[in-house]
Amino acid sequence: MQENKEINNQVSNTDNSQPQEQNPIKNKPKLIISSYEIKPKMVEAGKNFTLNLSLYNTNAENTIYNLKVNIDQGNSQNTGTPSGGENNTITDAAVFSPVGRSNTFYRSAIYPWNYTSESLTMNVLPNAKAGNYLMNVNFEYEDYLGNQYQSTETIGIPVVQTASISTSDISMDDIFQGEPSNISLNIYNTGKDNLTNLMCKVEGDGFSVDEKSHFIGNFAQGASDTYSFNVTANEGKILKGKVVISYEDSTGQTHTEEKEFSKEISENTPLDSQGNPIDKNGEQIPVSEERPIYKSPIAWGTFLVLIFLIVFFIRRKRKKKREKELNIDED
């Protein structure tokens, strides 16, 4: 068994067959993948990609006949995330499937030192995990004597998942000049990729921040976190700023999102050394005191009117009663 690995293209070759004994041949033909190309270079789960293969007959004398090429994902395993992160074994053989055709193609002959190429459209399973998958390319062919050969080469297909985060509305306390006020927002990983190096930071002018940046780091699928900080407005009438969120997906690509915030700044009433409110000239502002109800003239007036009405109706009722009694005596 001979094994040859081409590091740049992640191709491995295994020639695991011999010609039939009845027709020995000294210079047997060999077929390899000279190069392959994936479009796009990073394959997104749930989408199609194009695989371009270039095959080469390395023999200088013998032609390859009746070539059958079969592509499968059997015994496929993940060799690490596309960004070079943790190793993660994947054995699902149904991640890739051909689109509009079978996974096999045929060539009647490939002459010595000659090439042939093939282009296939493949689809990736939507819930495939992000990582570098191995795909087998199996060859079956014959020499001019009819001897049959088999060999297998392996190529790597990097698969990525959609990276996406969502945030809640920014929550802000009332902003007062020179006083700290709290601002916070929630962050959610709503994509299908595990994110790394998640960082939040605040940008803006005219205010100071107690926690200008917040490093979360690894942010797995479905995870959530909260960024909370206090700002102190130093100038201006409106506090404006933004929260910048940056992170890396499983391919190592950096993403950046921004969330803006703004709120009117309220002016504080200045106080003297004893805590009493003063005006711009430093004069104390009189504070109106609430009177008890028994000290209110209106309350007393209302009370006297009620007393007068009560006395009036009582006296009137008594007078009518006496008049009625006199009328009875006269009868």
Output the domain CATH number for residue 208: 2.60.40.10
Tell me: do 42 and 138 sit in the same domain: yes
Tell me: do 54 and 122 sit in the same domain: yes
Tell me: do 190 and 155 sit in the same domain: no
| Sign of the alpha-carbon torsion through 36, 39, 41, 43 | negative
Tell me: do 12 and 155 sit in the same domain: yes
Tell me: do 17 and 136 sit in the same domain: yes
Report if residue 13 sits inside a domain: yes
CB count within 10 Å of CB 156 equals 20
Report if residue 279 sits inside a domain: no
Residue pair 79/132 in contact by the 8 Å Cβ criterion: yes
pTM (2 d.p.): 0.62
Domain that holds residue 97: 2-160
Q: How far is CA 258 from CA 61, 185, 244, 290, in A?
A: 64, 12, 5, 50
Report if residue 44 sits inside a domain: yes
Give, for all 331 residues of the chain, the pLDDT tens digit: 333 333 334 455 555 555 445 467 888 999 999 999 999 998 999 999 999 999 999 999 999 999 999 999 865 545 444 443 444 445 445 799 999 999 999 999 999 999 999 999 999 999 888 888 999 999 999 999 999 999 999 999 999 998 999 999 999 999 998 889 999 999 999 998 999 999 999 999 999 999 999 999 999 999 999 999 999 998 888 999 999 999 999 888 899 999 999 999 987 666 556 666 655 566 666 655 555 665 667 777 787 888 888 888 888 888 777 777 666 666 5
Report if residue 326 sits inside a domain: no
Tell me: do 54 and 120 sit in the same domain: yes
Ramachandran angles phi, psi of 141, nearest 5°: -155, 175
Tell me: do 140 and 177 sit in the same domain: no
What's the pLDDT score for residue 309? Answer: 83
Residue that is last in its domain, among 266, 281, 307: 266
Residue that is last in its domain, among 160, 182, 199: 160
How is the beta sheet containing 31-39 ordered, strand by strand?
31-39, 48-57, 115-124, 96-98
What's the pLDDT score for residue 89? Answer: 42
The total of structural domains in the chain comes to 2
Residue that is last in its domain, among 142, 160, 178: 160
Tell me: do 137 and 172 sit in the same domain: no
Tell me: do 119 and 177 sit in the same domain: no
Distance between CA atoms of 62 and 28, rounded to whole angstroms?
7
Tell me: do 118 and 83 sit in the same domain: yes
Tell me: do 152 and 239 sit in the same domain: no
What's the pLDDT score for residue 83? Answer: 42
Report if residue 95 sits inside a domain: yes
Contacts of 3 by beta carbon, 8 Å cutoff, 6+ apart? 12, 13, 14
Tell me: do 100 and 118 sit in the same domain: yes
Report if residue 274 sits inside a domain: no
Report if residue 293 sits inside a domain: no
